[in-house]
Structure 1
Amino acid sequence: MPVLEYKCPNCGSGMVFDSATGMLSCPSCGRKDNIEQLTEPVKKQVFEDKEIKEYHCTSCGAVLVTEPETSATTCSFCGSAVVLSDRLSGALAPALVIPFAISKNEAMQAFKKWCRRGLLTPRGFMTADRIKSVTGIYVPFWLYDLNHRVEAHGQATRVRSYVKGEYQYTETQHYEIYRKVQANFVRLPVDASAKMNDGLMDKLEPFPYQELKEFKTPYLAGYLAEKYSYDDEELLPRAQGKVRPYIESYVSSTVTGYTTASLIDYRIDTEVDLADYVLLPVWMVAYDYNRAEYTFAMNGQTGKVVGKPPISKGKVAGWFAGVSAASFLVLKIAAWLMGGGFL
């Protein structure tokens, strides 16, 4: 099985993808090559032993032993960027990729700026000086185009009160509700990596899908990448679960003019129009604080940061005390204005 490494034609060093220019760049001599015009990279045959796969670095010859999900990595001995091409071929070949637009240094600066905005985080955390690692990973996603035929049943009431003679009457009318709608979703992302936290990946959305490009292995040079753990059929139930709240919210918004309304029975038939296997850019940040490690994720195109930082109990207590004091002062002023008294 081949290892792909993109050698600089000038000096022979390993080239990496440059997020600033969108080209392959040589860290040693500065040469830049257009990815669309690249020739076939150097390949070296390696072997497979049952479930354990070993690869050889084409720069230094070191043996690379990787996890089954890894499809791009760096040599631990010489630092060369390598792509494990057998894990990116056939059914495992992505259709599209969004390249990184934010460099590692830019990601670190953006993360530090994000930390400083934490109003309720400890002061020591806000300095962002305990970054353990910043790792660029191409995370596997399935992008779905889904068509939904939706039927919903429910009940509603209209209530009116009126006076007739000496009596007040309340009249309640009951209705059966039926809605039939078509709900289509385009490019719905669902991460396909078993290692990634689904909640973190969902919060990284949206990705700029106008930046999608036909997949080419040079985009992976210098970054880590994983192949999918779940195929599109296995992840379809999760995709349906992601869109269901939006479908129910939309259908509910069409029911107006009633005193009460409740849709209690939904039938949703889903048709998959398209499911593309894509790689999306994510910076993973490991941060040490107070003898605990925190993990954050950053959208490699937009710079959006998600994660759960530590909370300062002192700041939270101070915030609640401030809110309580302000509320108490407002109540006293209101009482004074209404009663003509003094504070």
Structure 2
Amino acid sequence: MNPLRILLFPWWLAELATGAKAFSDNPLIGSPLLNRWGLHVGRVRIAAALARSRRQRLSGLISAEERAAFERDGFVMKRDFLPPQEFARLREEALSYRGPAREMVQGDTITRRMALDPAALDAMPGVRTLIRSAKWRGLMRYVGSFDSEPVGYIQTILSHVNDREPDPQTALHADTFHATVKAFYFLTDVDAEEGPFVYVPGSHRMTPERLAWEKERSIRARDGLDRLSSRGSLRIRQDELASLGLPAPKAFAVPANTLVVADTSGFHARGPSVRPSIRVEIWTYGRRNPFLPWTGFDLLSLPGIAERRANWMWAARDRFRAWLGQPWRDAGIKTPAAPAAEDVGG
């Protein structure tokens, strides 16, 4: 046996008690034999039970109607989230903001992100008020199942910027095997044919059918599935949904000033766009170790730390690019809706 594998075994074993998800990176997580015996499904079951327990303790943060919508669908949608005049001011503030941007090219699509760091929040007091409001914080915490501060950005999706293959995010997938939260607060209207967010209602529930699907996928994930599935973000075809007792995906073709907060362990995607388009949103996400029994005690949520995490993560990838990789290139100073750079052609 390779001595390095012996040295790494304690690390691989410890990762079983964390959110580590890549079947291709950890020979225990990716072991077909262990997953036939139920390793992956066991992690899914435990994580789901702990998420339910944490949400029960956070249930007072949102209304009974919102809780019922989430339990049924896996997401909460709020149209007209802000009063019209307040939204108009926030939208103008956000779309006119100029700041450091990062971009990632996936297929024919660019995702642009501008961190909601201290400088950005000072320049956009309306955005700061929004993400610190009780309504926003309550939904993020309940859906994510942790009393933790999410990481926030202004995010822009620019579709059909080159002639490459389709955006891989248009394939239905689960982000990971456990509860995790993403929020989309749309600053622009979203057309049904211009890459709307898509979610399969009810797919956040770990039903017997879903667990059987997870087990079958986990056995083949290391070597027999696509690259992103082997990395732990399992893909599913739309024609498979009925066998899991799930409906067709719902596309969020919605007006600006709509908020969607979703558990992205459920199946979701970026809808296909039939033409070049730009979608701008305030986008936040939260993901913690799913095996923690408590809801809080998150040092990364402390003021002065929480709003700097995005830049720290980018800086770490810049510095250790050879080991961590860095898909987010520095795109300079931009406004959120600035057109794509000329050097992203096919």
* TM-score for the superposition, normalised by structure 2: 0.24
* TM-score for the superposition, normalised by structure 1: 0.24
Higher relative contact order by CA 8 Å / sep ≥ 6: 1 or 2?
2
In proportion to residue count, which structure has more helix? 2
Structure having the higher Rg: 1
